[in-house]
Amino acid sequence: MFRYVEMNYTPRDSTDACNVLNVNIRTAYDLPLDGELDLNITTKSNDQTGPGASFSVTRKNLFGGGENLTLGLKGSYEWQTGAQNTDNGSLMNSYEYGVSASLFIPRVLFPRLGKKDYDFPASTTFNLYADQLNRARFFKILAFGGDATYVFNPTRTSKHTIIPFKLKFNVLQSTTHLFDSIANENKSLYLSLNNQFIPSMSYTYTYDTSGKRNARNRLWWETTLTSAGNITSCIYRAFGKSFSEQKDLLGAPFAQFLKINSELRYTWNIDKNQSLATRVAGGLIYSYGNSDVAPYSEQFYVGGANSIRAFTIRSLGPGSYHPAADNKYAYIDQTGDIRLEANMEYRFRIIQDLHGAVFMDAGNVWLLRDDTTRPGGRFQWKGLADEIAVGTGAGLRYDLSFLVIRVDCGVALHLPYTTSRKGYYNIPKFKDGLGWHLAIGYPF
């Protein structure tokens, strides 16, 4: 809202008996518009590559009370490279694009709560979005929805985020014969992507010690609880619908599940040039009642620039399951109902703003229920250690405080499934176990 704020204090009276100060505040409004542009290039192990971009523009102080209206556009395109792109080239192209609108209000818009004075910032945000996804050779899906988010900060270290209602609608617009043949054998995949209405609410608690004075190390913990479809199901039951009976809303079945997601981070600042950052994360989603399968967008996954960096995003799991390269399931993203992940990263300064890092990542996703099309995917304590994917690696960070440009190279150490190579280090070829990532910001 303001480009700068300057405060000058002067005594009201020069006599010793007067201890009152006058405060003179000088301010200058910031520019009314702010823009942000992100560009990226993606390469995947299935030989798909392509660019992506997102652009947003923010109108600051929209109504004169610090409100910000943000409009966003995003898009990405991928095509098949290599020998597989000889026949059905056009069919192998995937794309995604979307639009979004967000209105941030620096106060609580809710009866009674809006007039209450808060010691720390409180806000309300309204969001609307629509995304179109075309998965080459498989399906085209449209997702749109909106939510209202309330944020309270009772102390310097605690934050409560409440989403009393979030509405999302998934529309499976078209499918290919290949996808239909897969769906006929894999009902779970079909149900997770089929037309579905997702009415949900969530609560998030965040604890962050970075707001403490003279805090040398940082502890950050965040846990989110999400409930979907339960109030809607109770309303239907009040009108005579049984718990197990299929119930539709707006012409489509609605999702019903409980979900918990938690993440703990701790950073030891050894000195001003060295630190050790750690993270432990886990999550579980349980679907019941109106659907035994969680929506695709709510399921867990691992891999990628901010997860297990030796592997591409959504390429691991569930469990010890892995489709062969020529299997028709090979291009389907791998997701699960359970997620476990741990990361450790040693960070050090090389020279001035250039920093280095050495890291190790481990984790996987699993299913809660048996799936005959994905053998070995169900979570079991027996053999759990062998189903944990492990990777290490190193990277460079150019840290300008306001912007961090990161390059990481992940090296796979262990795959959670059986390969042609025996032993714990079971990577068939070293080059196949390398993952390169160019990203903005630290991974955690």
Tell me what the mean pLDDT of segment 258-268 comes to.
98
Decide if pLDDT at 438 tops 60. Answer: yes
Give the pLDDT score at 228. 93
Give the pLDDT score at 78. 80
Give the pLDDT score at 22. 87
Say if CB 357 and CB 395 are below 8 A apart.
Answer: yes
pLDDT band per the 50, 70, 90 thresholds, residue 84 = very low
Residues 6+ apart with CB under 8 A from 19: none
Mean pLDDT of all residues in the chain? 87
Tell me what the mean pLDDT of segment 267-289 comes to.
95
3-state helix, strand, coil in the chain (%, to 5): 10, 50, 40
Residues 6+ apart with CB under 8 A from 232: 199, 247, 249, 254, 256
Give the pLDDT score at 85. 43
What's the pTM? 0.82
Whole-angstrom distance, CA of residue 287 vs CA of residue 264? 25
Decide if pLDDT at 113 tops 60. Answer: yes
Ranking 46-60, 343-357, 386-400 by mean pLDDT, the lowest is 46-60
**Domain spans, the chain:** 1-30, 32-388
Decide if pLDDT at 163 tops 70. Answer: yes
E-assigned strand segments in 248-290: 248-249, 252-253, 257-271, 274-287
Give the pLDDT score at 47. 58
Domain 32-388 belongs to what topology?
Porin (2.40.160)
Quick: pLDDT tens for 421-436.
999 999 998 988 888 8
Q: What does the DSSP assignment read for 36-97?
A: EEEEEEEE-TTSEEEEEEEEEEEE-STTSSS-EEEEEEEEEEEEE-STT-SS-TGGG-EEEE
Decide if pLDDT at 42 tops 70. Answer: no
Quick: pLDDT tens for 305-332.
899 999 988 889 999 998 865 455 555 6
Give the pLDDT score at 327. 55
Q: Nearest-CA neighbor of 282 among 363, 359, 369? A: 363
Say if CB 442 and CB 430 are below 8 A apart.
Answer: no
Quick: pLDDT tens for 326-345.
455 555 678 999 999 999 99
Give the pLDDT score at 72. 96
Give the pLDDT score at 369. 92
How distant is the alpha carbon of residue 155 from its chain centre? 26
Give the pLDDT score at 81. 58
